Structure 1
């Protein structure tokens, strides 16, 4: 009988030791002892070497997904006589090694702050393969981007036109720019809502596009590339992308009267599976349908198909990451809900909202599996929680763990490669975990774990000689 506390979408797996391929990296397997291995390395060895909790990134999976995304959009664009440029989302997971993987795969990178730009440049990414986003770029950040010869700066407001033009003029350079448009299409995971004008901080209204493009073209130090759209994140269906593309393309005939509009950036935010009930569209199909819609609209409008650009988002880094935790305490809590009583097992681990803020921020759902061993025990509806002084400190809200889960067991939470390390914090003065890449039986450190001494060293009042 199903636990009445379980959400409707959650089904207990027949085998609690199984690893759903849509959720886990392709190298995730259990060895002969039942221990989870990633990139050919057991999780216990990784914890012994790097501590717990630990972010593990499957480099082989990461590199494969870079090529998969590139192939999907290159092939789709080629079918309609166009080309595509793919921007890796630096905000999802950023280290210098990650940038080098992106560069080696032939992709570009999207940054939105001076810090992200600094990492990309420090890793050797050519400026021409960097796109800079952001709704409040400072003069200093714009100056660094222009100086680095970034391939495109996305204009997010009318004010930025003059700001970027003045900086480019001061450096005697011509800076390529895109104009971010609020298309009025907001795509959610399972539905999309079209409105006249969204109430949000990004982009400019469609009705303002002709006047602002004219202003951009009035500056000799700016070169207009085209329009940019981003309708959301963790999107499973294609309808919103098609609607946004059609709305933006409808403006192109008017813009083409006074000059070239060589590109169209349709953003991204393509969804991934965080648990077994999520089934995103195959990326190749999604790319083909978007490209076909662009071709059809261009034919209807009597214009040439522009070059296409995309920002896939978490679909590259998300499924490559697994976070490993150690179990600290366990308690069975009797919960009464709608007149029925049932037990939920609370499993506390040595991390929490400081290493994965998404469940607290967005009520995001994740999966969990016992990692240090196999278990033949029956399943127990469980909630994996962290060590922070917050009732909302939840890592995995709903999943089944073996009923014999015990103190010192290792648990693995998949699909944590995107926005977990990036959003991590030192709440409750907890040092952030190490980020480690695994591949072909070897591991190497991407970011070392913080220590309490690291945190104290930033405290201006700290006096180590008296500590």
Structure 2
């Protein structure tokens, strides 16, 4: 049995596209919607009777075996995503290298898939590094990142010949001292920040601006390079940056790459080669298509203005917040720019890297084709750190409906038997996902059912969807909801036993149908053991 993207989820009917995000009145071509019904890159759904099947098992089998909530990953999708990035480099810049951002989904089963496809791992802790090494990833294909590396971790990286990403000039000095005591000369790149890029994503996941805990300020680097001769125990090979997560626009990548190439030429003037330029990750997933995203923004505007005019029933965002739209002092909504995370991009995943390589960077004020600019620098390795874009669309989450009620007089609130710690991205920003009732899938109401979604934890911030999602019918207690594209961060980054709820199971299915339990559901003893 071979299970690919197209066969991962099978329903009793074909359909459910735009309604899951737009609600009533959505007018999106069925061919566009179908892509989002499928798991990842595929384009079709196949009928298989009334009960949905996931990886060739009926829904009831998953529920009985692992309980709910449950996170299920497709190994095939992860592998295909890595291949797609590799193909871009093979076509346009063979000196390109991939380092999977381990924080997005750290697990041996995932690391083994990544490694088999020829990519390395970007790690930020001792256990991430140990996991990667135990998964068979060669140490020379590990990049040690992070802003708070312990001495023993730096020493381990030096001992095993990992590439070290120095997070600051001060950390560079620490690495030099440790390396000197060990009599070694580690490979190091300097992480950069301080770029003036404007609003490129949500503030909490923007990591390359002036106000960030990551990286050395780009303006301090020219003076630092003049001091390199005093650090004989370190080989500075180039530069690193990471703009942030879900960077939907091309221009920020071109801007930082142009500046890094300029610094590469300054490094060459010190008598050293610039061997590595690492532009980090942040390659976006398009959770919706362009028309759906524009309609999403319009619903925010309409709801806010309607509420200010006395009609709160049309509010679309929880508490009538404006999210990425700023309000003027007089209460008017400034709608010219969205200053938050974007959930649609014309350059999703590997398409962003392709656009960077086909684009133009500004080097010393002159626009130059990206590949030509890299060649003029000596063809350094161009390294990327995709995380979400490799695993984000590889997983789904299943959760059971507890109840549906009214709040604020006219708004529906669906409560799930799952807390926000199991969909952790909702703690940081407002993720836009596709939601569906997966049991009895073909039963629909005449109009989609719009609702906010709350979790089961005892604090008001436990909101799984702060915008109104649209389901194919009104849910009832016991229905099972499927949330798409939950493979990165959410299921594990903030996982906890808040309110003594068990952390849910996480299961990976490979192309042959083999299951790997990435995490078993917590028992009482797991939660309260010492």
Which TM-score applies when normalising by structure 2? 0.76
- What secondary structure does 1:249 align onto? helix
TM-superposed deviation, 1:125: 1.5
CA distance 1:167–1:244, change in 2 (3 Å):
same
Distance (Å, rounded) in 2 between the aligned partners of 1:43 and 1:322: 13
Aligned partner of 2:193 in structure 1 is 182
> Paired residue for 2:232, among 220, 227, 232?
220
CA distance 1:254–1:441, change in 2 (3 Å):
closer
Q: What are the equivalent positions in structure 2 for 1:10-159 lying under 5 Å apart?
A: 10-12=22-24, 20-22=34-36, 25-26=39-40, 29=45, 31-78=47-94, 83-150=95-162, 152-159=163-170
Residue deviations 1:12-31 (CA, integer Å, cap 9, x gap): 4579x997534752479464
Distance (Å, rounded) in 2 between the aligned partners of 1:103 and 1:414: 25
CA distance 1:297–1:415, change in 2 (3 Å):
closer
Say if 2:473 is the partner of 1:403: yes
Q: Is the 8 A contact 2:265 2:274 kept in 1?
A: no
Q: What are the equivalent positions in structure 2 for 1:190-201 lying under 5 Å apart?
A: 198-201=210-213
- What secondary structure does 2:83 align onto? helix
> Paired residue for 2:369, among 290, 296, 299?
296
CA distance 1:191–1:369, change in 2 (3 Å):
closer
Q: What are the equivalent positions in structure 2 for 1:265-344 lying under 5 Å apart?
A: 265-275=278-288, 276-277=292-293, 278-280=343-345, 281-292=347-358, 293=360, 296=369, 303-333=377-407, 335=409, 343-344=410-411
Q: What are the equivalent positions in structure 2 for 1:248-259 lying under 5 Å apart?
A: 248-258=260-270, 259=272
Q: What are the equivalent positions in structure 2 for 1:155-166 lying under 5 Å apart?
A: 155-166=166-177
CA distance 1:315–1:442, change in 2 (3 Å):
same
Distance (Å, rounded) in 1 between the aligned partners of 2:59 and 2:223: 57
Distance (Å, rounded) in 1 between the aligned partners of 2:160 and 2:165: 15
Aligned partner of 2:335 in structure 1 is none
Aligned partner of 1:366 in structure 2 is 433
TM-superposed deviation, 1:34: 4.0
Distance (Å, rounded) in 2 between the aligned partners of 1:260 and 1:250: 13
Distance (Å, rounded) in 1 between the aligned partners of 2:514 and 2:373: 54
Residue deviations 1:266-290 (CA, integer Å, cap 9, x gap): 1120111334524321445422331
- What secondary structure does 2:231 align onto? coil
CA distance 1:326–1:31, change in 2 (3 Å):
farther
Moved more, 197-206 or 175-184: 197-206
> Paired residue for 1:262, among 275, 278, 300?
275
TM-superposed deviation, 1:98: 0.8
Distance (Å, rounded) in 2 between the aligned partners of 1:213 and 1:44: 61
- What secondary structure does 1:354 align onto? helix
TM-superposed deviation, 1:299: 5.1
Q: Is the 8 A contact 1:112 1:134 kept in 2?
A: yes
Q: Is the 8 A contact 1:72 1:283 kept in 2?
A: no
Aligned partner of 1:451 in structure 2 is 523
* Number of residue equivalences: 436
TM-superposed deviation, 1:121: 1.8
* Structure 1: runs of 5+ lacking an equivalent: 1-8, 336-342, 459-467
- What secondary structure does 2:103 align onto? coil
* Structure 2: runs of 5+ lacking an equivalent: 1-20, 294-342, 362-367
Distance (Å, rounded) in 2 between the aligned partners of 1:457 and 1:190: 40
Moved more, 173-182 or 283-292: 283-292
Say if 2:488 is the partner of 1:418: yes
Q: Is the 8 A contact 2:201 2:246 kept in 1?
A: no
- What secondary structure does 1:21 align onto? helix
Distance (Å, rounded) in 1 between the aligned partners of 2:113 and 2:373: 40
Distance (Å, rounded) in 1 between the aligned partners of 2:198 and 2:99: 20
- What secondary structure does 2:114 align onto? helix
CA distance 1:445–1:187, change in 2 (3 Å):
farther
Q: Counting strand residues as a fraction of each chain, which structure ranks higher? A: 1
CA distance 1:46–1:219, change in 2 (3 Å):
same
Which TM-score applies when normalising by structure 1? 0.85
Distance (Å, rounded) in 1 between the aligned partners of 2:377 and 2:518: 46
Q: What are the equivalent positions in structure 2 for 1:198-209 lying under 5 Å apart?
A: 198-209=210-221
- What secondary structure does 2:122 align onto? strand
CA distance 1:23–1:116, change in 2 (3 Å):
farther
Residue deviations 1:385-426 (CA, integer Å, cap 9, x gap): 211112221223321113332211111111110001222222
TM-superposed deviation, 1:188: 4.7
CA distance 1:20–1:189, change in 2 (3 Å):
farther
Aligned partner of 1:6 in structure 2 is none
Distance (Å, rounded) in 2 between the aligned partners of 1:354 and 1:434: 13
Q: Is the 8 A contact 1:176 1:225 kept in 2?
A: yes
Aligned partner of 1:231 in structure 2 is 243
Q: Is the 8 A contact 1:269 1:313 kept in 2?
A: yes
Q: Counting helix residues as a fraction of each chain, which structure ranks higher? A: 2
Residue deviations 1:162-206 (CA, integer Å, cap 9, x gap): 2212222333322100001115144655799x9x96121111122
- What secondary structure does 2:459 align onto? coil
TM-superposed deviation, 1:137: 0.8
Q: Is the 8 A contact 1:430 1:452 kept in 2?
A: no
TM-superposed deviation, 1:103: 0.8
